[in-house]
Amino acid sequence: MRVVTKTMAVAAVAALALAGCGRSDDGGSGGGSGSGSGDKFPADSLIGVSLPQKTSENWVLAENLFNTDLKAAGFKPDVQFANGGVGEQQNQIQSMVTKGAKVIVVGAIDGSQLGTQLKAAKDSGAVVIAYDRLLLNTDAVDYYVAYDNFKVGVLQGNALLEGMAKKKPNGPYNIELFAGSPDDANAKVFFDGAMSVLKPKIDDGTLKVVSKQTDFKQVVTQGWKAENAQKRMDTLLSGNYSSAPIDGVLSPNDTLARAIITSTKAAGKPVPVVTGQDSEVESVKSIMAGEQYSTINKDTRNLVKATIEMIQAIQKGQEPKITDTKQYNNGVKVVPANLLEPLIVTKENAKEAYANDPTLSKLTN
């Protein structure tokens, strides 16, 4: 899913919170302060890419794209998944350093637990790029490439409101809130983006969170696991909705959205408006069938392309494209970022949104 975070996964939130009404982007393409610019290296160098567990289709696609596209660009890719957890990712990054990788791209399982390995990378002269998830509490990160994930949350919050209004023009609406895994730096940012839209409506009574679980720590889903979301939804429904209807559920991604829908059906309830993210095949099918209401299109192809373009610029000693130099404080430094624009997708615009996607376009006809 893709990464805006703030200081220490929390401190940064303060900066983003101010942004709820008016975040400021630099909007330029240059001016980054990463320490990697200006350091040329051979065009056939080793590039390390350390990815987290295979928790979504997008991570699997990223693996394939990095392998294929780095080779096509003339580099030697070393792309690895850390399915064994944080310890495995730490070892993988250290191994990439030992092999002499000139750039190490990290999609972190837990961005706060890689400081030692990232310092070793920087000490070796490698450039470190945070991919999709911000690396926290370290100055050993040069750049950040991601979709604007605070905006992802904003889009999800607006979609929830719009979807419920289509079903029932006037509130109040009963809703529940879900967030991602607390060890993922993105999860809090998605949630804060959504709550910048939803909290005013909760405060004025338009929205009622029947369970009263509105704090991030109350609504997280450890490991982004579907079974954890489904179990929590089962509990919420049995404890709060024996007679009351549930109108909507904020889900941070597609995997959890489908689990929430499964739980609702099992309880004999009409499917509420449920948000999502990642444009997973099964969720796009669900959207076209009129069940899941929305998802977010964050085309992994574009994100990998932007990352490789950044690597190519660094390899040539050029300054890579940077669109933001203010928002992404990781607790130690503000990390220069290249942010891509996410797109909300519902049944109404799915055909247009996926027109250039060879897989998803087939599902919208």
Domain ranges, ordered by start, for the chain: 7-148+298-346, 150-297
- Say which CATH architecture domain 150-297 belongs to: 3-Layer(aba) Sandwich (3.40)
pLDDT of residue 189: 94
pLDDT of residue 11: 37
Q: pLDDT band at residue 14, thresholds of 50, 70 and 90?
A: very low
Q: How far is CA 90 from CA 8, 48, 223, 261, 346, in A?
A: 19, 13, 18, 36, 39
Q: pLDDT band at residue 9, thresholds of 50, 70 and 90?
A: very low
Strand ordering across the sheet containing 207-209: 207-209, 173-177, 248-250, 273-274
| Lowest pLDDT segment from 17-21, 116-120, 201-205 | 17-21
pLDDT of residue 21: 35
Name beta bridge partners: 177.
Answer: 250
Whether the ω angle into residue 358 lies within 30 degrees of 0, i.e. cis, is: no
- What separation, in Å, do the N-terminal and C-terminal C-alpha atoms of the chain show? 25
Amino acid at 264: T
Amino acid at 17: A
**pLDDT of 33-74, one tens digit each?**
444 445 689 999 999 999 998 877 889 999 999 999 999 999
Same fold? 7-148+298-346, 150-297:
yes
Q: Enter the CATH code of domain 7-148+298-346.
A: 3.40.50.2300
